[in-house]
Structure 1
Amino acid sequence: MSLSDELSPISSDELSRYLKHRKNPRAVSRLSLKLGRFPSTFLRDGFLRAYASLSMPAYARDLFDEMPHPNVTVASLKELLARRVVHGYDGQLPLASHLGTVIAGCSRARDLRSGQQTHCAAVKLGVERDRFVSSTLIAMYGKCGKLNESFSTFLQTPQKDTVICTSIITSLATSRGDQTREAALTVFRDMMGDRIWPVDRTFVSLIKLFDAPERLGQGKQVHGCVLKLGVQVDDQLGSALISMYGRCGSVGEAVRLSARVNMDAVSWTSLLVAYTQNGYDLRAIDLFRSMIGSNVVVDRFMVASAIGACSGMEKLRLGEEIHGYSLRQGFLADVSVCNALITLYGRCNLIEKAERLFKMLRVKDMISWTALLTCYGQNGCGEEAIVLFREMLRRGIGPAKYCISGAIRASSTIASLAAGEQLHCRAMKTGNGDDLSVHNSLIAMYAKCGCVELARRVFELMNCRDVVSWNAMITGFSQHGREGEALELFDKMSKEGIRPDDYTFVGVLVSCSRLGLVAHGCSYFGAMSAEHGLEPKMEHYACMVDLFGRAGKLQDAMELINAMPFEPDQLVWEALLASCKIHGNVDLVKSVAQRIMEMRPEDPSPYIALSTMYASTSMWERKAFVQTMMKDARVRKDPGKSWIESQQVSDHSHHSVYSLQMVGI
């Protein structure tokens, strides 16, 4: 069979594959011309590689010259440079643009090695300072995480323009460090001073630097600069601004901006995320419902954000409805949607569902592993979390900082100081020891293990602290009888301009309750909404009930419960029940216990409280009646248990002993 007969019905892709197995590319070239397959850029590139690899530079040079807009890949360029096909060209061909295109491809693929090789080729050919080459090099090094090389290339570029400055700002914006943030702002100020005017893409990258409430002022200044320069706020810039206001805690500004820009799918998702980031989960769900009912095309990111809102409210039924919607719309194949569902079921104590979703994922990313780790940690399954972490190590999956921090939090649920210390060492060895999330987890772990001074040492050594850092330390002090230090730390936090959140005030109110500082507690409770814009939640009311109850102000506690804007849950009534037991108020104990029995018939605590109260007042008949009630309701108290971690123990008889040998360093 002739070559022509063999290839007569062939497509361009098939012809390209066939080319790889022929020793005479000229014959294939003539046939491709005959078949009309030659215009393909991809096919031309294949011929370039074939000519160069078979030492046919003349044919390669002719083909290279004939290409009106060469789109040379890294592989072709390496072959051509090796055969000196394009070296020393006479200047008619804009070689710098080809190198820049190759570097841009390396950037998209995050192929650092090929990018560095192409950089060397640019140096050899003397075009490394070309503006297009420089801008693509800056972007390539930035995307590959080499910020020093990216900034060095920027400094070595003699003629800086908008593209160059935008490239370095984009690279620096990928890092969350204070130094890189300040460097990016300095570049922006310098380009404004040199009258190099930024464009919309510049602002999209710059706005990413403002990611916390304390940076809201800077974000507003940049937004003002956008308006002053008359830069058009298109879909991309509008979405970036909405996201910025959400990250900085200014949801009102995000909503007002959404009414003034053309909202696309990304913008709607940005607004959804802004709601969930700031605790407005119900608004996020309402927005998602309205989007489904309108002509907005719902994508996987919107679905994942809506599931995240359900997680924030622990609304299981609503989350399951969105799970069903995702199944019908085909979104369950997406890893981000599954990750959000794993987080939801973890928050709602449905570990088996979370595990099934995790196993169902064909491709698991780092967020998937972290979500399940967090799920185990939230539900007190510390051993399972450590086993999962070891499985990651066994598979050679380098644990990211969030996985390490999740494993550290999980070790704190079983109060395993040894495992926590080993994970601390692993974090240091893997270069994650200075990460903010790892530090926060270490503070919480050491505090829960009773090592408050170690927690304090980690806190004081931190270069950068967020509200989670302060919360962990305040909670650690309040849990270990150092409530005064917790309140002092809160005052210091306020002086440093850190905006407290819901969890901050839980630690503060608990400290006031245990110290008997009723006036201070009432002041902090009132300041939540008056000064910080935080609406008190159920746990804050429970803290206040405990505050009044411990001080013997049971009537004030009841008045607060009656004035609550929502129905009190078991947490509130249990706080009051404990106070009634302390102060011997039999009638109130009976009333509160009855409420808890109605809410949770299987809970033994109200029966135990009533029985203990009647025994302390010698009401033996009533005590016997309560015990009979408990028996009839088939409610029983599980025996208490405690354990300690002992060193130098040689007994390996426990069935879980090997899974308890948690982290091998």
Structure 2
Amino acid sequence: MEGKAITYLVNLLQSCIDKKAHLSGKLLHAYILRNGLSSDTFLSNRLIELYSKCGHTDTARHLFDKMPHRNIYSWHAMLDGYCKARKLEDAHELFAVMPERNTVSWNTLISALVRSGFEKKALDVYHMMNLEGFMPTRFTLASVFSAFGALMEVDLWSIRDAIRAFRDLPEPNEVSFTAMMGMLAESHQVEEAFSMFRSMHRTRIHIDSISLSSVLGVCTRGGTGEFCVTSEMHGFSSNMHGQQIHSLTVKLGFERDLHLNNSLLDMYAKNGDMNSAGIIFNNLPEVSVVSWNIMIGGYGQKYQAEKAAEYMHIMLCQGFEPDEVTFINMLSACVRSGHIESGRNIFDRMVCPRLSSWNAILSGYSQNRSHKEAVKLFREMQFRGVQPDQTTVAIILSSCAGMGLLEGGKQVHAASVRAMFDTDTYVASGLIGMYSKCNRIERAECIFDRIPELDIVCWNSIIAGLSLNSWDTEAFTFFRQMLGRGMFPTEFSCATVLSCCTKLSSLSQGRQIHAHIAQYGYINNVFVGTALINMYSKCGDVDGAKQLFDEMPCKNTVTWNEMIHGYAQNGCGNEAVILYEDMIGSGEEPDAITFVAVLTACSHSGLVDMGIKIFNSMQHEHGVEPLSDHYTCIMDALGRAGRFHEAEVLIDKMPYKDDPIIWEVLLSSCRVHANVSLARRAAEELFRLDPQNSAPYVLLANIYSSLGRWEEVKVVREMMNDKQVFKNPGYSWVEHKNRMQVFKVDDNFRMAIDEFEEENVEISYFNG
């Protein structure tokens, strides 16, 4: 009779476990105690499982410790309870004192460590398992391969180790093949992952919907090779692998599998093929919230917030309840599309937004340069008691940097130290960026020196910070140190150090960086190529710039602008105009900067009529509203040519009468042509707009002195003395044998080497 009662109680307990019915389970526990059944090991094991499943691991452990007789299942129940509650220290301690272990014990601990992100510890336990003579099962290897894949710093030895373990399996099955594919994909060996799938197919291993879903996940990572061409210029789609797997799912009869269909949707959406995703979605036999979320997220990635909103509206109309992922995807869609206010409305509708949602809206504000709103929302986040993570801190540091908010940045820095986030590479990079933009470069260097493991993001941050603060020579030093430590520079690294060459007008250094860029394979990158054109142009080698321009396979508006501007800077006006016309002929739309470049070229080369023609075409033919910079260029062209009547007509019509630069350009032209009356008008406007600027006083005095009108020169100098306006000294520098010398010129035109440049300082770091 007691045996039947125990069986009945076991069944009831199992029902409570399945339903997580904690209160009902406690009542059964009380009944077991009252009837003297607490010594039954089988019942106690079920009670441990119940309390663990309901999140009461302390109660489970108390019961475990009181058990008079434990078997291996008792130990496994407690170990599994700790692992599922992610109490990994307790799990490890329990595991260490287990009187008996089997493969299940090892698998439980290894899989829990992998799930919790402790991949290295999981691999250590796996190696211990091997040392103690336990044979890994397919479930062991599934966890081990996942651990290998999750470690982004996975090296060749680790991959070889994993492949060796896979080959040692006597009978590999779909589980081990699928895990191996995931590991290879995570370590960016996409083609090898596909090769593994083809091997699985050839050896007639059973391919189920899980295997197909896994290989579709590999398809979202791209790659090139036997079946895939990444460039769509050649008429091939970059998701050809996925299309082949799609055909296989139909062939194997999985068209109605919801999970697999969602994987297909995800593959097409992440590859940007929303047309194919839409066709699959519209023909799904069954739709879930996950399906809707994928479509909303896919349109968000394509910057189509309106389309994402349309799908969310239909989702609601069809009675589906949005979950957290729905809101995050919709929020991200708005942020990506620049609809930050719509994103904020969605965020405000969330009852209890997760940290990922806070980060998404904060990132949106920061990316849209709404830094004040980002900081304000961050304060609200703190008020609500939401704990930030490393991503949050990095975003807010970016906003503090954007606002030049040093004190706020310092407070975030202090908070990051308390939370032990300051050694995180992205937080550290954010701190370097914040201090650099707040002109505290020494503090940025201190943070850089304390980072335990430097990555390319940290190096890029400090080099960019030094360049931003005009410490260009020091930026070169850091770039050289980065290369010396075997760090592979990115396109950003190269573009930044090129800007240092440009600012130092150091052609020799720029050519050496050019050689490095070719070595690292960035020569065809449009941004790096544009930076090279800028460097060669500003260092006077306009032919070198044009040769590079002609060799570039891809050009954007910025590239065209830099080359046109390069011609303008080097007095090649006709070439600049021809290139401008070539740009329009190529179908590239000119922007406001294009017109500044070509109008500058016209001005410097005396092409006045051509400049006026281009200026007049801006709004009528290209839809670009002339700005003050464009008026300045035309004013300069007219002034240089002595066409002052046209200049006065234009200045009376233009909407930028309070721009001091325009009046200063006009005053300079008046000096050349000795137009005293217009010079006096321009100078008076400048005295009104910028009374402490010495330039108009000096220019007006020079006009008077060139005409021998010394009394008027005296009046101007007295005005300067009365208003305490002082002329700034001029500087010149010369590069000779990779050495820079700077000279200062005072009012008496005496020239001296500037005190902060030592005679023997060399700035060449790439010789030999």
TM-score, scaled to structure 1 = 0.71
1:418 aligns with 2:508: yes
1:636 aligns with 2:721: no
Task: Give distance in 1, aligned partners of 2:140 and 2:185.
Answer: 20
Structure showing greater Rg? 2
What is the correspondence of 1:145-294 to structure 2 with a 5 Å cutoff?
145-158=188-201, 159=207, 161-170=212-221, 172=223, 179=230, 184-192=238-246, 195=250, 221=275, 228=282, 232=290, 241-242=299-300, 244-245=302-303, 251=337, 266=356, 269-270=359-360, 280-281=368-369, 283=370, 285-286=372-373, 289=376, 292=379
Cα 1:109–1:614, aligned 2, differ >3 Å: closer, same or farther? same
Match of 1:123 among 164, 167, 170: 167
Q: Deviations over 1:128-147 (max 9, x none)?
A: 6x555445444433443434
Q: Could you list the runs of 5+ residues in structure 1 that have no partner in the other structure? A: 1-28, 52-58, 88-94, 211-217
1:107 alignment partner in structure 2: 149
8 Å Cα contact 1:586/1:613 also seen in 2: yes
Q: Deviations over 1:588-620 (max 9, x none)?
A: 433443454565555432222212222344432
1:71 aligns with 2:98: no
Which residue type is aligned with residue 139 of structure 2?
S
Which residue type is aligned with residue 170 of structure 1?
R
1:660 alignment partner in structure 2: 763
1:359 alignment partner in structure 2: 446
Q: Count residues in correspondence.
A: 590
Q: Deviations over 1:463-521 (max 9, x none)?
A: 44444433333332332233444454455555656566654443244345443321212
Cα 1:346–1:521, aligned 2, differ >3 Å: closer, same or farther? farther
Match of 2:409 among 318, 323, 330: 323
Task: Give distance in 1, aligned partners of 2:539 and 2:229.
Answer: 32
Q: Deviations over 1:504-553 (max 9, x none)?
A: 4432443454433212123235666x37xxx7766455445546655743
Which residue type is aligned with residue 360 of structure 1?
I
Which residue type is aligned with residue 149 of structure 1?
E
Cα 1:441–1:276, aligned 2, differ >3 Å: closer, same or farther? farther
1:454 alignment partner in structure 2: 544
Which residue type is aligned with residue 521 of structure 1?
F
1:626 aligns with 2:716: yes
Q: What secondary structure sits across from 1:641 in the alignment?
A: strand
Task: Give distance in 2, aligned partners of 1:75 and 1:607.
Answer: 77
Task: Give distance in 2, aligned partners of 1:76 and 1:299.
Answer: 29
Cα 1:44–1:495, aligned 2, differ >3 Å: closer, same or farther? farther
1:554 aligns with 2:664: no
Deviation at 1:646, TM superposition (A): 4.1
Cα 1:510–1:101, aligned 2, differ >3 Å: closer, same or farther? farther
Task: Give distance in 1, aligned partners of 2:588 and 2:145.
Answer: 42
Cα 1:345–1:395, aligned 2, differ >3 Å: closer, same or farther? same
Task: Give distance in 1, aligned partners of 2:763 and 2:163.
Answer: 50
Q: What secondary structure sits across from 2:734 in the alignment?
A: coil
8 Å Cα contact 2:334/2:340 also seen in 1: no
Task: Give distance in 1, aligned partners of 2:263 and 2:181.
Answer: 15
8 Å Cα contact 2:110/2:125 also seen in 1: no
Q: What secondary structure sits across from 1:125 in the alignment?
A: coil
Deviation at 1:410, TM superposition (A): 0.6
Deviation at 1:272, TM superposition (A): 6.0
Task: Give distance in 2, aligned partners of 1:664 and 1:47.
Answer: 61
Task: Give distance in 2, aligned partners of 1:133 and 1:607.
Answer: 82
8 Å Cα contact 1:150/1:168 also seen in 2: no
TM-score, scaled to structure 2 = 0.63
Q: Could you list the runs of 5+ residues in structure 2 that have no partner in the other structure? A: 1-69, 112-121, 202-206, 305-332, 741-754
Cα 1:580–1:50, aligned 2, differ >3 Å: closer, same or farther? farther
1:404 aligns with 2:498: no
Cα 1:310–1:382, aligned 2, differ >3 Å: closer, same or farther? same
1:98 aligns with 2:188: no
Cα 1:74–1:392, aligned 2, differ >3 Å: closer, same or farther? same
Match of 1:523 among 601, 617, 623: 617
Q: Deviations over 1:203-260 (max 9, x none)?
A: 67766666xxxxxxx6x64785697466647889867754642999983567657756
8 Å Cα contact 1:376/1:385 also seen in 2: yes
Deviation at 1:168, TM superposition (A): 2.8
Identity percentage of aligned residues: 21
8 Å Cα contact 1:506/1:540 also seen in 2: yes
What is the correspondence of 1:216-615 to structure 2 with a 5 Å cutoff?
221=275, 228=282, 232=290, 241-242=299-300, 244-245=302-303, 251=337, 266=356, 269-270=359-360, 280-281=368-369, 283=370, 285-286=372-373, 289=376, 292=379, 301=391, 304-305=394-395, 308=398, 315-316=403-404, 319-320=405-406, 322-323=408-409, 326-327=412-413, 330=416, 333=422, 336=426, 339-340=429-430, 342-343=432-433, 351=439, 353-361=440-448, 362-363=450-451, 365-394=455-484, 397-490=487-580, 492-493=582-583, 503-514=593-604, 515-516=607-608, 517-524=611-618, 530=623, 539-540=629-630, 542-543=632-633, 545-546=635-636, 552=643, 553-559=646-652, 561=654, 563-564=655-656, 568-582=658-672, 584-597=674-687, 603-615=693-705
1:86 alignment partner in structure 2: 135
Task: Give distance in 2, aligned partners of 1:645 and 1:581.
Answer: 34
Which residue type is aligned with residue 727 of structure 2?
R
Task: Give distance in 1, aligned partners of 2:171 and 2:668.
Answer: 77
8 Å Cα contact 2:628/2:659 also seen in 1: yes
Q: What secondary structure sits across from 2:651 in the alignment?
A: helix
8 Å Cα contact 2:431/2:447 also seen in 1: no
Task: Give distance in 1, aligned partners of 2:506 and 2:359.
Answer: 40
Deviation at 1:405, TM superposition (A): 2.7
Q: What secondary structure sits across from 1:643 in the alignment?
A: strand
> With CA pairs under 8 Å and 6+ residues apart, which has the higher RCO, 1 or 2?
1
Task: Give distance in 1, aligned partners of 2:613 and 2:513.
Answer: 42
Task: Give distance in 2, aligned partners of 1:658 and 1:609.
Answer: 37
Deviation at 1:164, TM superposition (A): 1.2
Cα 1:126–1:257, aligned 2, differ >3 Å: closer, same or farther? farther
Deviation at 1:37, TM superposition (A): 8.5
CA RMSD of aligned residues (A): 5.0
Deviation at 1:635, TM superposition (A): 0.8
1:141 alignment partner in structure 2: 184
1:20 alignment partner in structure 2: none
Deviation at 1:359, TM superposition (A): 1.6
